[in-house]
């Protein structure tokens, strides 16, 4: 169910992890890779990432049965335009963007007749980025959302089987719902984490050194996701505007309700609210989506 | 430098970890314990927590050289009043509360002449609570803030040495500054995490099952601290009102600036903001206050 020839366009955390996961799965695909920056291509060659690292998009996608757009969402349109004339008829194009409506709008107009486009979103990542950040197990037990949006059943099922071979679970989702769910579970949490870290950094009366020293009291959980790739996240917020603004509105509404409870001394409201949120944590542990080791198991960190 | 007799009042995560850490350090102190609930006392006896679990505060503090108030901040005053008549002259009273001004205001009026009060705040914890949640290494390489506030140098230095023997680093801090620093690194991060989890739970268009399934995309980092003890956190917000409201004001101000950048499409502002926050993460890793394993090292979680 794999593809004889796969082209990875963009060689960051996501694409490099895909390559190592393909190797681990024993796929016999021939994998070409392309990155815009010479430095990234050099690193990829040094790491043995892809069977062939190409200096042009045209070269990388020629004869490919699957082309993976693995660049920030804001760069997808330009990349699609550059590759389109060189695609093999009947090939499948997919992407790994965190936003789907904007990617579809940017990519589809460029694709020639007879090319299948199956948007996808592997919901996995770490706070590290770049070609040397990838590892084979990144997708294990993680979800890859597939947004068929008019692609054939055959092309969709084939891409699902491919992602499952990389270790992921797959689920099909409608495009608008995808963008809303991701705003909730990913985009707004990232925005809030960035904001909290920014506030701490910006305060005059508390030094950065104090923030860093005493971060174990809760703050440091936010800093992991606030260290994620700035370009990727800028593009997410610029391109998933309606859903992020909607969830942000809900968030500030709730936050104001809690702020009011603090100001008026409404302990019962606070207690009830804090009790309810424990259930969600339990659900995540039961679903195998996080470790139940206290403190993420990191109690043993040493200087 | 230890104390011949130590009384732990309140037998939750903090006190039970103190007991196991004292044992690990080889201290020969005799440790008594008290908890208001019969169930907690029973659990403590079953676990072998403390050398003696007492059924009354009076019994627990009699002859103690160090009395540790390890209950939620809102319960400190009542506990101090109950124990005060039974304290040994010249003993030291300390606490482990996350807020210091409110604890000092609640406890000090009850203490007799000749008793030293040295407020302290071990900045350590996990999302688990109760007598069976404790472990000996909880304080290793964590900070314990000491707020002398008029205690003698001798009593202060002795308490510092005690906490260092439990594995912690100590630092002295002025009370108002303590409450502000903790609002930044701990209280507001917890409030925001609770809010985000509450919003996700409350949305009609995205189900709890979806939130749980797809939580690895960022959301789950928030759920760990949002699973913390509701009573403890209710009390923190009720008693550290000025500092939490101040930092909350700064937070919403920044969040609105980012929201505006999303709405107007100001990519440069977002990019610059997200770049700045990476530095704080680096500082935390360099200070040995977190693991640098990708994804907190939890990539291998399995169903």
Q: Specify the residue for token string 């977002």.
A: B270
On whether both B138 and B265 belong to a single domain, the answer is no
Cα distances (Å, whole numbers) of residue A31 to A19, A102, B285: 8, 27, 35
Give me the pLDDT at residue B300, please.
44
Cβ B265–A238 below 8 Å, yes or no? Answer: yes
On whether both A136 and A217 belong to a single domain, the answer is no
Mutation to test the A interface, candidates B200, B214, B299, most A Cβ within 10 Å: B214
> Which of B142, B173, B204 finishes a domain?
B173
How many CB pairs below 8 A link A and B? 392
Distance CA(B162)–CA(B170), nearest Å, equals: 10
Q: Binning pLDDT at 50, 70 and 90, where does residue B97 land? A: very high
Closest alpha carbon within chain A to B298: A291
Q: Is residue A250 part of a domain?
A: yes
Of B214, B233, B303, the CB nearest to A181: B214
Closest alpha carbon within chain B to A237: B262
Q: Binning pLDDT at 50, 70 and 90, where does residue A296 land? A: low
Q: Binning pLDDT at 50, 70 and 90, where does residue A213 land? A: confident
Range of the domain at B74: 5-173
Q: Is residue A302 part of a domain?
A: no
Q: Nearest-CA neighbor of B135 among B40, B266, B21?
A: B21
Q: Which residues of chain B neighbour A99 with C-beta distances below 8 Å? A: none
How does pLDDT run across B200-209, given as a tens digit for each residue? 988 889 998 8
On whether both B149 and B35 belong to a single domain, the answer is yes
How does pLDDT run across A87-119, given as a tens digit for each residue? 999 999 999 999 999 999 999 999 999 999 999
On whether both B166 and B184 belong to a single domain, the answer is no
Residue A172, beta-bridge partner list: A146
Average pLDDT over residues B33-55: 98
How does pLDDT run across A19-43, given as a tens digit for each residue? 999 999 999 999 999 999 999 999 9
Buried b (16+ CB within 10 A) or exposed e, A147-172: bbbebeeebbbbbbebbebbbbbbee
* Angle separating helix axes A241-264 and A267-286, nearest 10 degrees: 140
Distance CA(B123)–CA(B140), nearest Å, equals: 11
Residue B123, beta-bridge partner list: B143
Closest alpha carbon within chain A to B266: A238
Q: Is residue A303 part of a domain?
A: no
Q: Binning pLDDT at 50, 70 and 90, where does residue B1 land? A: low
Q: First CA to last CA across chain B, in angstroms?
A: 48
Q: To the nearest whole angstrom, how far is the Cα of A21 from the nearest Cα of chain B?
A: 14
Cβ B302–A284 below 8 Å, yes or no? Answer: no
Per-residue pLDDT for A300 more than 50?
no
Query: Could you tell me if A136 and A23 are in contact, meaning their C-beta atoms sit under 8 angstroms apart?
Result: yes
Q: What is the longest distance spanned by two Cα atoms in chain B? A: 67
Considering only residues B297 and A182, tell me which one the structure prediction assigns the higher pLDDT. A182
3-class SS string, B237-267 = HHHCHHHHHHHHHHHHHHHHHHHHHHHHCCH
Average pLDDT over residues B80-93: 98
Question: Angle at CA B86, nearest 5°, toward B84 and B88?
Answer: 100
Give me the pLDDT at residue A204, please.
85
Distance CA(A65)–CA(A85), nearest Å, equals: 15
**Mean pLDDT: which of B5-14, B206-215, B223-232 is highest?**
B5-14
Per-residue pLDDT for B223 more than 90?
no
Closest alpha carbon within chain A to B199: A251
Distance CA(A142)–CA(B215), nearest Å, equals: 10
Structure tokens at B290: 């977190």
Q: To the nearest whole angstrom, how far is the Cα of B83 from the nearest Cα of chain A?
A: 26
Q: Binning pLDDT at 50, 70 and 90, where does residue A282 land? A: confident
On whether both A127 and A210 belong to a single domain, the answer is no
Average pLDDT over residues A288-292: 75
The domain spanning residue B247 has which CATH number? 1.10.3660.10
Mutation to test the A interface, candidates B240, B296, B300, B302, most A Cβ within 10 Å: B296
On whether both A153 and A39 belong to a single domain, the answer is yes
How does pLDDT run across A216-275, given as a tens digit for each residue? 778 888 888 888 889 999 999 999 999 999 999 999 999 999 999 999 999 999 999 999
Of A137, A190, A212, the CB nearest to B289: A212
Structure tokens at B75: 């319960």
Average pLDDT of the residues of chain B: 93
Cβ B215–A124 below 8 Å, yes or no? Answer: no
Cβ A193–B135 below 8 Å, yes or no? Answer: no
On whether both A155 and A187 belong to a single domain, the answer is no
Residues counted in chain A = 303
Q: Which residues of chain B neighbour A284 with C-beta distances below 8 Å? A: 212, 215, 220, 223
On whether both A23 and A165 belong to a single domain, the answer is yes
As a whole number of Å, the CA-based R_g of chain B is 21
Cα distances (Å, whole numbers) of residue B264 to A245, B244, B270: 11, 30, 11
Q: Is residue B183 part of a domain?
A: yes
Number of compact structural domains in chain A: 2
Q: Is residue A241 part of a domain?
A: yes
Phi/psi for B152 (5° steps) reads -70, 155
How does pLDDT run across A115-174, given as a tens digit for each residue? 999 999 999 888 888 999 999 999 999 999 999 999 999 999 999 999 999 999 999 999
How does pLDDT run across A171-195, given as a tens digit for each residue? 999 999 999 999 999 999 999 999 9
Per-residue pLDDT for B126 more than 90?
no
Distance CA(B165)–CA(B152), nearest Å, equals: 20
The domain spanning residue B68 has which CATH number? 3.40.50.720
Q: Which residues of chain A neighbour B184 with C-beta distances below 8 Å? A: 199-200, 203, 206, 211, 219
C-alpha dihedral sign at B123, B125, B131, B135: negative
Per-residue pLDDT for B215 more than 90?
no
Q: Is residue B302 part of a domain?
A: no
Q: To the nearest whole angstrom, how far is the Cα of B185 from the nearest Cα of chain A?
A: 5
User: Among the residues of chain A, which ranges form H helices?
Assistant: 13-24, 38-47, 57-61, 76-83, 101-107, 153-165, 175-182, 188-202, 208-213, 219-225, 230-239, 241-264, 267-286
Give me the pLDDT at residue B291, please.
72
Closest alpha carbon within chain A to B267: A234
Q: Binning pLDDT at 50, 70 and 90, where does residue A303 land? A: very low
Q: Is residue A53 part of a domain?
A: yes
Query: Could you tell me if B247 and A199 are in contact, meaning their C-beta atoms sit under 8 angstroms apart?
Result: yes
Q: Which residues of chain B neighbour A189 with C-beta distances below 8 Å? A: 196, 217-219, 221-222
Mutation to test the A interface, candidates B12, B216, B303, most A Cβ within 10 Å: B216
Per-residue pLDDT for B72 more than 80?
yes
Of A226, A289, A302, the CB nearest to B212: A289
Q: To the nearest whole angstrom, how far is the Cα of B64 from the nearest Cα of chain A?
A: 30
Q: Nearest-CA neighbor of A253 among B202, B112, B116?
A: B202
Give me the pLDDT at residue A302, please.
45
Cα distances (Å, whole numbers) of residue B195 to A82, A294, B22, B201: 44, 22, 37, 10
Cβ B212–A124 below 8 Å, yes or no? Answer: no
Phi/psi for B70 (5° steps) reads -120, 55
How does pLDDT run across A38-84, given as a tens digit for each residue? 999 999 999 999 999 999 999 999 999 999 999 999 999 999 999 99
On whether both B27 and B120 belong to a single domain, the answer is yes
Closest alpha carbon within chain B to A143: B214
On whether both A225 and A237 belong to a single domain, the answer is yes
Cβ B254–A195 below 8 Å, yes or no? Answer: yes
SS3 B168: coil
Distance CA(B96)–CA(B71), nearest Å, equals: 8
How does pLDDT run across B137-186, given as a tens digit for each residue? 999 999 999 999 999 999 999 999 999 999 999 999 999 999 999 999 99
On whether both B21 and B160 belong to a single domain, the answer is yes
SS3 B92: strand
> Which of B155, B173, B191 finishes a domain?
B173
Cβ A198–B222 below 8 Å, yes or no? Answer: no
Q: To the nearest whole angstrom, how far is the Cα of A239 from the nearest Cα of chain B?
A: 9
> Which of A173, A206, A233 finishes a domain?
A173
Distance CA(B143)–CA(B163), nearest Å, equals: 9
Q: Is residue B303 part of a domain?
A: no
Mutation to test the B interface, candidates A96, A143, A246, A280, most B Cβ within 10 Å: A280
Considering only residues B107 and B129, tell me which one the structure prediction assigns the higher pLDDT. B107
On whether both A132 and A259 belong to a single domain, the answer is no
Q: To the nearest whole angstrom, how far is the Cα of A29 from the nearest Cα of chain B?
A: 26
Q: Binning pLDDT at 50, 70 and 90, where does residue B297 land? A: low
* Angle separating helix axes A230-239 and A188-202, nearest 10 degrees: 120
């Amino acid at each position: 169910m794999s593809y004889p020839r796969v082209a990875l366009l963009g060689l960051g955390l996501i694409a490099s992890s895909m390559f190592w996961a393909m190797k681990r799965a024993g796929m016999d695909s021939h994998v070409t890779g392309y990155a815009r920056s010479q430095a990234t291509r050099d690193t990829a060659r040094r790491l043995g990432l892809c069977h062939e690292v190409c200096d042009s998009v045209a070269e990388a996608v020629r004869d490919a049965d699957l082309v993976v757009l693995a660049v920030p969402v804001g760069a997808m349109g330009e990349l699609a335009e550059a590759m389109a004339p060189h695609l093999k008829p009947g090939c499948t194009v997919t992407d790994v963007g965190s936003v789907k409506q904007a990617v579809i709008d940017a990519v589809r107009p460029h694709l020639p007749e007879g090319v299948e486009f199956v948007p996808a979103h592997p919901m996995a990542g770490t706070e590290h980025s770049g070609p040397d950040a990838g590892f084979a197990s990144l997708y294990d037990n993680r979800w890859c959302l597939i947004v068929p949006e008019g692609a054939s059943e055959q092309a969709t099922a084939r891409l699902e089987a491919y992602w499952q071979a990389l270790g992921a679970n797959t689920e099909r989702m409608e495009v608008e719902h995808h963008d809303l769910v991701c705003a909730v579970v990913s985009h707004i949490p990232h925005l809030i984490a960035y904001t909290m870290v920014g506030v701490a950094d910006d305060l005059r009366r508390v030094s950065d050194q104090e923030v860093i020293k005493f971060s174990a009291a809760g703050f440091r959980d936010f800093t992991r996701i606030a260290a994620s790739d700035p370009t990727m996240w800028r593009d997410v917020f610029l391109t998933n505007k309606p859903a992020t603004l909607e969830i942000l509105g809900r968030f500030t509404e709730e936050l104001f309700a809690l702020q009011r409870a603090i100001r008026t001394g409404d302990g019962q409201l606070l207690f009830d609210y804090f009790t309810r949120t424990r259930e969600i944590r339990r659900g995540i542990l039961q679903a195998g989506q996080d470790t139940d080791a206290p403190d993420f198991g990191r109690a043993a960190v040493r200087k």
